Amino acid sequence: MKLYYRCSLCDKEMISLSMNDKLILIQYAIGKYDSENALKEKFNGMLSQKEIERAIDTLVGTQRVRRIGTDVLQNNISHTGELPELPDHLKSIVQSL
């Protein structure tokens, strides 16, 4: 199932994001901003708070991301290897973060 969002980060009219797209975006954003609050702020115009929290919880549950303290997140590269390949339609969003 794909959902459509207005992308305030990349000024595109509408983009389609699958759950996997959201997880990849969050992982790349964690590489730039390790604070959970900063991530929520960056994705505020594109994803709902519930979607952001669900994506983070999924990444933590699958051990692709780990929590360090109460607000700090880190990609768990030692467990999963490298970050997933960034699809072309997400590159402009990640660059604008």
CATH number at residue 46: 1.10.10
pTM: 0.76
**Which DSSP state fits 62?**
T
Which band of pLDDT confidence, cut at 50, 70 and 90, is reported for residue 31? confident
Number of domains observed in the structure of the chain: 1
Whether residue 1 is predicted with pLDDT greater than 60 in this model: the reply is no
Q: Which stretches of 1-97 are DSSP H helices?
A: 19-32, 36-42, 49-61, 77-80, 88-96
Q: Report the share of the chain in percent with pLDDT over 90.
A: 21
**Which DSSP state fits 71?**
T
Question: Average pLDDT, whole number, for the chain?
Answer: 80
Domain that holds residue 30: 3-96
3-state secondary structure of 64: coil
Task: Say how far apart CA 4 and CA 88 lie, in whole Å.
Answer: 17
